[in-house]
Structures are given as structure tokens and as C-alpha cells.
Amino acid sequence: MVGERSILHLNVADFAVAVERTADPGLRGRPVVVAPPGSPRARVYDMSEEAFRAGVRKGMPLARALRLCRYARLLPPRPGLYRRAMAALARRALRYTPLVEAEEASGHLYLDLTGTGRLWGPPRDVARRLYREVRTELGLDPIWTLAANKLVAKAASRLVKPLGELLVPPPDAGRGANLADCAPGRT
């Protein structure tokens, strides 16, 4: 429909860990904690899904995290590497729209795909195409959500984390979007 906003939220869950696993595939499937080692006040910068399930959380004192998840592989943060990976992610997104907003080195991108349909096809197709490109070219496995605004797209990403996709239909006149109307799936 003409005039409907289409905001794509692309999210690489546990971004620092995902980038580290791309650099070292031996880390896949293992609990990983990214934090500055050797500091008495060190805090968890990021953690893998496996470490999360063991109780580790971002911002948690490192000593406590390592008690909760004894077999976690501890890696020092490499912000430069994460910024380069984020820039590569943004470059792929810029192929489809100049309206890209990136949260610095967090793995979150917002693309305004409103009005790009004649050039690239429906926003859902763009989302799937970009997903495949990021997966094959960068080795990252993002989730994506498509909604009428950033807030709804971001909230929807919480429903499908750590893997998946979700299309939130635009609200009808006088009626808000209902989760039963959403189309979850996996590409």
C-alpha cells in the first residue's frame, strides 16, 4: 500500500560473541564470555546464549559470571573488530536504502524501506535478501523484524530472539496490530 512505513530491524544477537565466533569457528556451541580479564572490577561485556542459559548477564561482575559458568571461554573485548563488523553490516544495508541507522557495534540496524518497493521489491523480500547476504558474506546469523516503526520492530525482535523473523502488519484503521496477526517464521 502506498504511504505505509516499513522499518526493518536487523539484529545480530550477542554481537561481540557472534563476531568472535566468525573469527574463531572453534567457539561455536561453547559458552563464551567477553570481558576484560585480569581486572578486579571487570564486568561482562557480552556472552553467548550458552553462558546466558547458565545465568551470566551483561554488566555482571566477571568473577560471578565465571562462578556461574565455569567452562566458559573468556575473551577480551575487541571493540575495533566489532566496529569493523558493524561497518560491514551497514555497508550491505546501504545497498537498499540510504536511511540506515546503526547502533554502534551492537549488531542492531534499522532500515527505512518505505518507498523502495519499485526498486527492490517488497520490504519482506529485501529483508530476506539482506539476511542471506549477511549470513553468506559475513558469516553472521541475524534475526529480522519488519514493522511500521522502530519501536515496534525492536519489540518484535525480542519475540524471535535468538533466531528468526517476524512481520508485524500495519494497524488497520481504528485497530492496533495483534500478535495473532503476525507472521513468524524462519528463513
**Whole-number Cα distances in Å, 173 to 170, 176, 177:** 9, 8, 10
Q: Which pairing describes strands 100-102 and 108-112: parallel, antiparallel, or unpaired?
A: antiparallel
Give Cβ neighbours of residue 77 (< 8 Å, ≥ 6 apart): 16, 34, 35, 36, 45, 46
Question: What does the block give as the cell for 184?
Answer: 513468524
Is 104 catalytic? The answer is yes
Instruction: Single out the catalytic residue among 104, 133, 137, 165.
Output: 104
38, three cell numbers: 585480569
Catalytic positions: 104
